Structure 1
């Protein structure tokens, strides 16, 4: 039985004060172009990522997938030489609007990175709550235990760690650390969760558990995942977008649509070549 089997039996907690409360949201990129200095890396990328679905971003290295992902929650602007054009809409509201705080965008649109990054000396319990502290969000004093249990359960980790919550996060295996990072992201109640190759450094068993977690979570949070693993994209996603940068041109979307159609009946021969392993 999956360690996420008790997901739907968990208590639904009241929202933590200061967190997003709107539920899963549709995320839309409209004509996104991006640069690092004078080097253009994305050219007018438009994509709708529907609520309660998993959208996979696929394509060879260097075509702008991870840059696009970072643009979706305003991390691109952390690079001094970075710039962009276009809009990112969260249920129709532009997250780059001048009146919208960057901290709000990053609470509503969370990120799980390629390499697990728990705080190694901090306990598992405190790791889950760390996102609240970093965002200046107060959890109810008498609700912290329930919040930690809920988030670890949703991340498929509770059964494995419930008796050692005071151990340091660095004591976990790589796959467990990645699920701990997912639990930490969930604690602030995001509406969208971005994942940048979350399984690339994990063994097959850990990868399977992360994929089970993704499958269970998509009903509560919209998920966008970058992956180079075509089998994984086929297993976990509802739709795919194929990025490509050809002959020194900026990255762009060649084709996007339902995952089954992208793999079984792609419209563009370049998509067929990529998903069937003929390049990349």
Structure 2
């Protein structure tokens, strides 16, 4: 029986390849349950690849390979008996560009995941779920009078919150977010950040961000990735966000968080 509530996610010596090119080298990181962990670092250092190893999306890429373990509350998501759909249900994903099903109504967008994970639900259950998930994603008040309108008619920031609501509908224990605000204006960004902070505690959040202020605002813990001169990505330093930003142990971390490179 799957657990409920936020789960601890632990990557242990994760290495990743695209063909013969190694892009991550023995990355280990604990992402505590019910907390927000930010992955920071310059472009091309393996943050998004690492994020995609956590819910088995990396393996969808032709020629991609992986070593190491990813443990969800101590259970390996890559264990031979574990179904891919189970990993995806427990560990949801919100992408960089909002990707609602444009022709599908707002209501149907939220419940779309139920079909994919084989969950049968009555109309009243779906109604409650739609309201709950849109509320948790900070969108209910804006859209409750137009649930039958297409998701594609919403603004970019609303579409991203709709995608968050859609992810939450299957009750994930972890939510992965790959630069969820990079395509959004400052006001929408602030709303999505508020949503992330409200979700913390109910779900474990792992977010890739290039925005240092955002990492400082929304995360409890932070991991700084770096890939130097053609070497695979590694974690230089990780720990409580406040410590990584204000008392970094490594000069490269200090240089990056203070905007001296990247």
State the TM-score bracket (shorter-chain normalisation).
over 0.9
Q: Deviations over 1:35-93 (max 9, x none)?
A: 00100000000000000100000000000000000000000000110001000000000
Which of 156, 159, 162 lines up with 2:141 in the alignment?
159
Which of 194, 201, 204 lines up with 1:219 in the alignment?
201
Aligned runs of 1:1-280 on 2, under 5 Å?
20-280=2-262
Q: Residue 262 of structure 1 aligns to a residue in which SS?
A: helix
- Contact 1:128/1:183 (<8 A) preserved: yes
- Rounded to whole Å, the distance in 1 between the matches of 2:251 and 2:76 is 34
- Contact 1:21/1:189 (<8 A) preserved: no
What is the Cα-based RMSD across aligned positions, in Å?
0.9
Gaps of 5+ in 1: 1-17
Gaps of 5+ in 2: none
- Deviation at residue 142 of structure 1 after TM alignment: 2.5
The count of aligned residue pairs is 262
- Rounded to whole Å, the distance in 1 between the matches of 2:10 and 2:42 is 23
- Contact 1:30/1:87 (<8 A) preserved: yes
Q: Deviations over 1:133-172 (max 9, x none)?
A: 1222212332111110000000000000000000000000
> What is the TM-score when the length of structure 1 is the normalising length?
0.92
Q: Residue 110 of structure 1 aligns to a residue in which SS?
A: strand
- Rounded to whole Å, the distance in 2 between the matches of 1:202 and 1:28 is 30
CA separation of 1:205/1:159 partners in 2, compared to 1, >3 Å: closer, same or farther? same
> What is the TM-score when the length of structure 2 is the normalising length?
0.99
Q: Residue 179 of structure 1 aligns to a residue in which SS?
A: helix
- Deviation at residue 21 of structure 1 after TM alignment: 4.5
- Rounded to whole Å, the distance in 2 between the matches of 1:21 and 1:137 is 16
